[in-house]
């Protein structure tokens, strides 16, 4: 199901604003983006034709620092979706206490239909179209759905040509030679792993707890491998072609090899095939939706048997499902935290680029784990102190930090007028 992410983000902010009794002007500032750009993106096809598709870049908030967030290439990208995702990024960066705001970009196109050259033409053209709105101290794009380090390298290169100097901090998620950070490729998984282990301990789950991971893309595949290495049993896995189950635990490395060679986890020998819906209802302690938006609706929520859900994907639970899960006492580590590893290491990459530094893989891993643990503890504190579900508490904590920054800025403006 497609969910209206913009509506959801605005409802969540409204709710948090009520909880925090925020002033009207702060509320208004939070429910509309600071800057939003819609552009034409012309690109040249392999046949030499010019085609034009729509593109967007939204800076929802720069109250705490430059806007930050990914760029997706997808046929269903709409301005509303981009605005909703940009809003979620503001909450995410504030919750993680990063010196950044929230943004998002997108191009309405199916990149799977484009050749490599067409993709490069599209990405460079998109960069030229949004160049005036991005920059290391303004708005810093990153990878998202269907974009990866290759696209980020093109953005960095095109931007450098436009401004006439190297400017690697304009975009994160770059390849290492182009100024990327060690650990960025596994960052979402590593961040999610950190919050799962901490939460499992807090809930008193066994050290060999059973895990189901839905989605075997960048986040899901790395995460399943990491959790298995931690001693947890991965009893269920899925990709877009189907789902597999083994009650004693799957060998994740072997399943990855099967997927690499045969194209899907469903070809792995010696496993039980289950439907995508049954996967979510498997007997396990931890469920990780790491695929798409809106995959857990009310019926799935009623069938979930896990005690802990960690949302590695953005928006996997519909609001109705969320209510059911909360009523059933299932702990949810919400997407704004469980998927925040990516933007956190993006922030590290940006800082390294600005200071001309290169951090070791161990430094990145240590700083990421510490950031995730701090955010989780702060979130629990707010959830306990205000008796709120974790998702609401996450928005309250993020919104409170953005509101404080807005108030400080307004105070400065008032001082200036008075002097
Ligand atoms: N697209 C990722 C997200 O939604 C990463 C954004 C970033 O690294 O700036 O969090």
Contact between 96 and 340 under an 8 Å Cβ cutoff? The reply is yes
- Residue 245 CA to residue 268 CA, distance in Å, equals 10
User: Distances in Å between the alpha carbon of 95 and those of 6, 10, 85, 164, 410?
Assistant: 19, 17, 15, 35, 21
144 lines ligand 1 (CB under 6 A): yes
Query: Quick one: which atom of ligand 1 is closest to the CA of 69?
Result: 9
Query: Quick one: which atom of ligand 1 is closest to the CA of 173?
Result: 8
Give me the pLDDT at residue 2, please: 62
SS3 92: helix
174 lines ligand 1 (CB under 6 A): no
Cα 82 to the center of its chain, rounded Å: 13
- Residue 419 CA to residue 415 CA, distance in Å, equals 6
Give me the pLDDT at residue 174, please: 98
DSSP result, 150-205: HHHHHHHHHHHHHHTS--GGGSSS--TTTTPPTTSTTHHHHHHHHHHHHHHHHHT-
Which of 371, 380, 366 shows the shortest CA–CA distance to 332?
A: 380
Cα(70) to centroid of ligand 1, in Å?
5
382 lines ligand 1 (CB under 6 A): no
For residue 317, the 8-state DSSP code is B
All domains of the chain, ordered by start, with CATH? 5-178 (3.40.50.10860), 187-338 (3.40.50.720)
**Catalytic one among 68, 92, 104, 371?**
104
Please report the sign of the dihedral spanned by the C-alpha atoms of residue 308, residue 312, residue 317, residue 319.
positive
Cα(328) to centroid of ligand 1, in Å?
31
Give me the pLDDT at residue 95, please: 98
Query: Strand 308-310 vs strand 67-74: parallel, antiparallel, or unpaired?
Result: unpaired
For residue 263, the 8-state DSSP code is S
Cα(146) to centroid of ligand 1, in Å?
12
172 lines ligand 1 (CB under 6 A): yes
User: Distances in Å between the alpha carbon of 337 and those of 12, 240, 352?
Assistant: 15, 24, 23
Give me the pLDDT at residue 8, please: 87
User: Distances in Å between the alpha carbon of 108 and those of 48, 129, 234, 294, 316?
Assistant: 21, 14, 36, 20, 21
For residue 107, report the phi and psi dihedrals to the nearest 5 degrees: -130, 135
Query: Strand 139-143 vs strand 67-74: parallel, antiparallel, or unpaired?
Result: parallel
* Per-position pLDDT tens, the chain of length 419: 467 888 889 999 999 999 999 999 999 999 999 999 999 999 999 999 999 999 999 999 999 999 999 999 999 999 999 999 999 999 999 999 999 999 999 999 999 999 999 999 999 999 999 999 999 999 999 999 899 999 999 999 999 999 999 999 999 999 999 999 999 999 999 999 999 999 999 999 999 999 999 999 889 999 999 999 999 999 999 999 999 999 999 999 999 999 999 999 999 999 999 999 999 999 999 999 999 888 999 999 999 999 999 999 988 999 999 999 999 999 999 999 999 999 999 999 999 999 999 999 999 999 999 999 999 999 999 999 999 999 999 999 999 999 999 999 887 666 666 66
Question: Is 112 known to be catalytic?
Answer: no
For residue 277, the 8-state DSSP code is H
Nearest CA to ligand 1 atom 5: 343
Cα 323 to the center of its chain, rounded Å: 22
Nearest CA to ligand 1 atom 8: 343
For residue 207, report the phi and psi dihedrals to the nearest 5 degrees: -70, -15
What angle do the packed helices 361-386 and 390-418 form, to 10 degrees?
100
346 lines ligand 1 (CB under 6 A): yes
Give me the pLDDT at residue 417, please: 62
For residue 113, the 8-state DSSP code is G
- Residue 280 CA to residue 220 CA, distance in Å, equals 14
Contact between 155 and 122 under an 8 Å Cβ cutoff? The reply is no
Cα(347) to centroid of ligand 1, in Å?
10
Cα(173) to centroid of ligand 1, in Å?
9
**For the stretch 55-84, what's the b/e string if a residue is b when 16 or more beta carbons lie within 10 angstroms of its beta carbon?**
bbbbbbbbbbbbbbbbbbbbeebbbebbbb
């Amino acid at each position: 199901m497609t969910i209206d992410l913009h509506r959801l983000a605005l409802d969540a902010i409204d709710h948090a604003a009520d909880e925090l009794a925020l002033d009207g002007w702060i509320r208004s500032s939070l429910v509309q983006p600071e800057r939003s750009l819609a552009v034409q993106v012309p690109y040249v096809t392999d046949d030499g034709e010019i085609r034009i598709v729509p593109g967007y870049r939204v800076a929802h908030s720069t109250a705490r620092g430059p806007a930050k967030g990914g760029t997706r290439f997808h046929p269903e990208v709409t301005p509303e979706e981009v605005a909703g995702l940009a809003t979620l990024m503001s909450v995410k960066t504030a919750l993680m206490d990063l010196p950044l705001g929230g943004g998002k970009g997108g191009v309405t196109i199916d990149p799977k239909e484009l050749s490599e050259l067409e993709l490069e033409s599209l990405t460079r053209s998109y960069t030229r179209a949004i160049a005036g709105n991005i920059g290391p101290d303004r708005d810093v794009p990153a990878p998202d759905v269907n974009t990866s380090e290759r696209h980020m390298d093109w953005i960095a290169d095109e931007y450098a040509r436009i401004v006439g100097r190297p400017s690697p901090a304009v975009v994160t998620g770059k390849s290492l030679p182009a100024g990327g950070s060690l650990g960025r490729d596994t960052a979402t998984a590593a961040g999610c792993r950190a919050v799962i282990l901490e939460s499992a301990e807090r809930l008193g789950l066994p050290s060999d707890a059973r895990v189901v991971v839905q989605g075997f893309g960048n986040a899901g595949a790395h995460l399943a491998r990491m959790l298995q290495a931690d001693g947890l049993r991965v009893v269920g896995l899925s990709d877009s072609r189907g789902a597999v189950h083994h009650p004693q635990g799957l060998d994740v490395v072997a399943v990855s090899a099967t997927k690499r060679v045969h194209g899907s986890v469903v070809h792995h020998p010696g496993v039980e095939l289950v439907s995508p819906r049954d996967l979510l209802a498997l007997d396990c302690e931890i469920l990780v939706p790491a695929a798409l938006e809106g995959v857990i609706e009310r019926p799935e929520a009623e069938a979930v048997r896990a005690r802990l859900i960690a949302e590695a994907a953005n928006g996997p639970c519909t609001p109705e499902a969320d209510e059911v899960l909360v009523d059933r006492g299932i702990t949810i580590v919400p997407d704004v935290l469980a998927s925040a590893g990516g933007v956190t290491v993006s922030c590290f990459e940006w800082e390294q680029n600005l200071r001309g530094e290169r951090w070791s893989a161990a430094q990145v891993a240590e700083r990421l784990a510490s950031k995730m643990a701090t955010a989780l503890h702060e979130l629990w504190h707010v959830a306990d102190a205000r008796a709120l579900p974790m998702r609401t508490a996450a928005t309250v904590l993020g919104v409170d930090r953005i509101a404080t920054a807005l108030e400080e800025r307004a105070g400065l403006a008032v001082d200036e007028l008075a002097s």
